[in-house]
Amino acid sequence: MEEIGGAFGELGLLCIIFLVLRPILQAVVESLRKRGKTLPNWLKKTSQFVTKNHRYAGIVALVAIAVHFILQYLNYNVVPVAGLIAFLLLAVQTVLGFGLTRQKDKERRKKMALGHRVLGIAIVVAVIIHRL
């Protein structure tokens, strides 16, 4: 059971790394476009793929981390505080991300998008701390 719990944690970590690619790719694409350069085909395809699958990777990450949380608790009867914080941040991030897609008011959507980005950074920090 210990190996299974760890496997779900690793899957969640891979999904989070995938999710981090989106803002990085967006920044690179925006920078190239501002300088008037054409995007290499591989970069355009990669950016489109990551953007299209961002939502699904977030769902997989949340489910994988929830299963990891449950299995680790069942196996060790304790949950590291940093892991719990990372999980809670990811849950809030998921709700915020889905709420963002349904938001009609532009100003509110901008604020939610900023919160979504800041929370993403907090998740990465929490995961790094948890992994240490």
Domain that holds residue 75: 2-131
How far apart are alpha carbons 19 and 17 in whole angstroms?
Answer: 5
Give, for all 132 residues of the chain, the pLDDT tens digit: 456 668 888 898 899 999 999 999 999 999 998 988 888 999 999 999 999 999 999 999 999 999 998 888 888 888 889 889 999 999 999 988 888 878 788 888 888 888 888 998 999 899 899 888
**The predicted structure's pLDDT at residue 4:** 65
Would you call 113 helix, strand, or coil by DSSP?
A: helix
Contacts of 16 (CB under 8 A, 6+ apart): 61, 90, 123, 124, 127
Threshold 0.85, pTM exceeds? no
- What total of structural domains would you count in the chain? 1
Q: Contact at 8 Å (CB) between 79 and 6? A: no
**The predicted structure's pLDDT at residue 26:** 92
Which pair of structure tokens corresponds to residue 50? 């990551």
Nearest to 98 by CA among 64, 58, 126: 58
CATH number at residue 123: 1.20.950.20
Terminal-residue alpha carbon distance, the chain:
22
**The predicted structure's pLDDT at residue 3:** 67
**The predicted structure's pLDDT at residue 5:** 65
Contacts of 7 (CB under 8 A, 6+ apart): none
**The predicted structure's pLDDT at residue 112:** 85
Q: Contact at 8 Å (CB) between 89 and 130? A: no
